[in-house]
C-alpha cells in the first residue's frame, strides 16, 4: 500500500508493538498529525461480543464533554406545531413530508443527524432504505426518536456521538479534533470508553475490550492500553 511522506514521517514516532497509556497515545496522535487541515481523531474499539446476536448488540449515544469540533447539521422530522421550537433550539431544518420527498426525489443529504418525534416514525420509515445504510435513521436507543426535540437538537449540536458495532464487532467513533490537544481528547476518550463499558451486554463472555486504537484522519494508528481505564 502506498504511503505518503508525511505518513511515513509520522509512523516513525510510533512503536507499532507498544500499548500506550491513553494520554500518551493521544499526545502521539497530535504530534503525528501532519495534514494541512484540522484532522479528526477517532477511536476504534474491538469488542469481545458477537453482534450477530441481538442480546450482544452494543449501541448508544453520549454527549462528549468537549464536543467533536464538528459543525453538525440537524434535520428534525416533526409535526407543524413543533417546527418553530425545533428551529429555535438550533435545528437547521424541521418539517415533515416535504423533507421526505426532498430526500426521495432530489437525493438530498445536506444534514449529519436526523431526529424525529415518535408520531413521525411512520413517515420517516419510508426512508429506511436510504437513511439506514448511511447510519442516519433515527432510533430510540440513540435518543434521536423523542418527543423532546429541543433537548435532542441541543445535544446533537453540543457534540453528541452515536456508537454502534460494525459487522466486525468494532466501534468507530470520533473523539474530537487534533487542535483540541491531548488533555481535551483524553476527557472525551474517558467519557466514550466509559459509555461503551456501561453498555456491556449481559451475554458477553470473556474479555470485553479486545483492542483499542486511536488515529487521526491521515495519521497512523496508536494502540491504547484500555484496561488501565476500566
pLDDT digits (tens, 9 = 90+) for 21-43: 999 999 999 988 888 899 999 99
The Cα diameter of the chain in Å comes to 57
Calpha distance 111→91 (Å, rounded):
10
Residue 19 is placed in which grid cell?
Answer: 500499548
Q: Which residues of the chain have pLDDT under 70?
A: 1-13, 229-230
Cβ count within 10 A of residue 226: 23
- What's the confidence (pLDDT) of residue 6? 62
Packing angle of the helix pair 181-198, 22-32 (nearest 10 deg): 130
Distance CA 123, CA 102 (A): 13
The set of cell numbers assigned to 220 is 497512523
| Residue that the C-alpha cell 448488540 belongs to | 57
Task: Report the alpha-carbon distance of residue 119 to residue 111 in Å, rounded.
Answer: 21
Distance CA 170, CA 206 (A): 16
Task: Compute the CA torsion angle 125, 127, 128, 131 (nearest 10 deg).
Answer: -130
pTM for this structure? Answer: 0.81
Secondary structure of residue 51 in the 3-state scheme: coil
Identify the three-state secondary structure at position 46.
strand
Q: How far apart are CA 83 and CA 79, in angstroms?
A: 7
Number of residues that make up the chain: 230
pLDDT in tens, 125-161: 999 999 999 989 999 988 899 999 999 999 999 989 9
What pLDDT was estimated at residue 107?
94
- All three cell numbers of 22: 491513553
Q: Are 204 and 49 in contact (CB under 8 A)?
A: yes
215 by DSSP, 3-state: which?
strand
Amino acid at each position: 500500500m502506498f504511503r505518503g511522506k508525511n505518513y511515513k514521517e509520522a509512523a516513525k514516532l510510533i512503536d507499532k508493538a507498544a500499548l500506550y497509556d491513553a494520554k500518551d497515545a493521544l499526545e502521539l496522535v497530535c504530534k503525528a498529525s501532519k495534514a494541512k487541515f484540522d484532522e479528526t481523531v477517532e477511536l476504534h474499539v474491538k469488542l469481545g461480543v458477537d453482534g450477530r446476536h441481538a442480546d450482544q448488540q452494543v449501541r448508544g449515544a453520549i454527549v462528549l464533554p468537549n464536543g467533536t469540533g464538528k459543525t453538525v447539521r440537524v434535520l428534525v422530522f416533526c409535526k407543524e406545531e413543533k417546527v418553530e421550537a425545533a428551529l429555535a433550539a438550533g435545528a437547521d431544518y424541521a418539517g415533515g413530508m416535504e423533507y421526505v420527498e426532498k430526500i426521495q426525489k432530489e437525493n438530498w443529504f445536506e444534514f449529519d443527524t436526523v431526529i424525529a418525534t415518535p408520531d413521525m416514525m411512520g413517515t420517516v420509515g419510508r426512508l429506511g432504505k436510504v437513511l439506514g445504510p448511511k447510519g442516519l435513521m433515527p432510533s430510540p436507543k440513540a435518543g434521536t426518536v423523542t418527543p423532546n426535540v429541543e433537548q435532542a437538537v441541543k445535544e446533537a449540536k453540543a457534540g453528541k456521538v452515536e456508537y454502534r458495532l460494525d459487522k466486525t464487532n468494532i466501534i468507530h467513533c470520533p473523539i474530537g479534533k487534533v487542535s483540541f490537544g491531548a488533555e481535551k481528547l483524553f476527557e472525551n476518550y474517558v467519557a466514550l470508553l466509559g459509555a461503551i463499558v456501561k453498555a456491556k451486554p449481559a451475554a458477553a463472555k470473556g474479555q470485553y475490550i479486545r483492542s483499542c486504537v486511536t488515529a487521526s484522519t491521515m495519521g497512523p494508528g496508536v494502540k491504547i492500553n484500555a484496561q488501565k481505564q476500566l
